[in-house]
Amino acid sequence: MKNNIMAFLAVLVLGTILISGCGNNDNTVREETGTEEDIMEESNNEASLTDWCEIGAFVQTQYGEARITGFEEHQLGSNNVELCCLEVDMDYGEGVTEKGKLCYDEDNNNMIHWKYDESQGKNVKQTEVYEEGNNICSVFYNPDGSILAQSCVPQ
């Protein structure tokens, strides 16, 4: 249980870092083009729509790699939102690893996190964070998809 909580918190922190760009000033992004790999340094300068969600790019973190898979539309609260999604494969050490998926918007106000569940053979939704009017809402899910906890607070 303790490892699950540590992994969950680590993914939330990682997601926040990836979404907000609060990591190093320079992130290494690797793009695959056929059999060639172009390595480029991307600073956290203001990015265009395609720059902030570059499909096929890899983001390297201290815990592993995340690959941007592209845009998906999701229902969050009462809104349909288009989110940039990436697949994550992290190793936090001491046998704590995690695979899953993270989707977020460019303004960092909407996010969904899934964790890969080997027993079910699929990604299982863990968390949603979204804007609803003047509130920021959070929903936490049990592995069976039922809601564990939810709350909304004023921005």
For 98-145, the pLDDT digits (tens) are 899 999 999 889 999 999 998 989 999 999 999 999 999 999 999 999
Decide if 154 is inside a domain.
no
Decide if 124 is inside a domain.
yes
Decide if 136 is inside a domain.
no
Instruction: Pick 7 or 133 by higher pLDDT.
Output: 133
Do the beta carbons of residue 151 and residue 137 sit within 8 Å? Answer: yes
Do the beta carbons of residue 7 and residue 98 sit within 8 Å? Answer: yes
pLDDT at 70: 94
Decide if 143 is inside a domain.
no
Q: For residues 117 and 124, what is the distance between their CA atoms, to the nearest angstrom?
A: 6
Per-residue CA distances from 58 to 55, 62, 63 (Å): 9, 13, 13
pLDDT-derived band of residue 52, with 50, 70 and 90 as boundaries? confident
pLDDT at position 33 over 70: no
Q: For residues 124 and 114, what is the distance between their CA atoms, to the nearest angstrom?
A: 5
- What is the Rg, in whole angstroms, of the alpha carbon atoms belonging to the chain? 16
Decide if 134 is inside a domain.
no
Decide if 21 is inside a domain.
yes
Q: In which domain, by residue range, is 90 found?
A: 2-128
pLDDT at 50: 53
pTM: 0.67
* Total number of domains constituting the chain: 1
For 53-105, the pLDDT digits (tens) are 999 998 888 888 899 999 999 999 999 999 999 999 998 899 888 899 999 99
Decide if 74 is inside a domain.
yes
Strands (E), 3-108: 26-33, 36-43, 58-61, 64-76, 79-93, 96-104
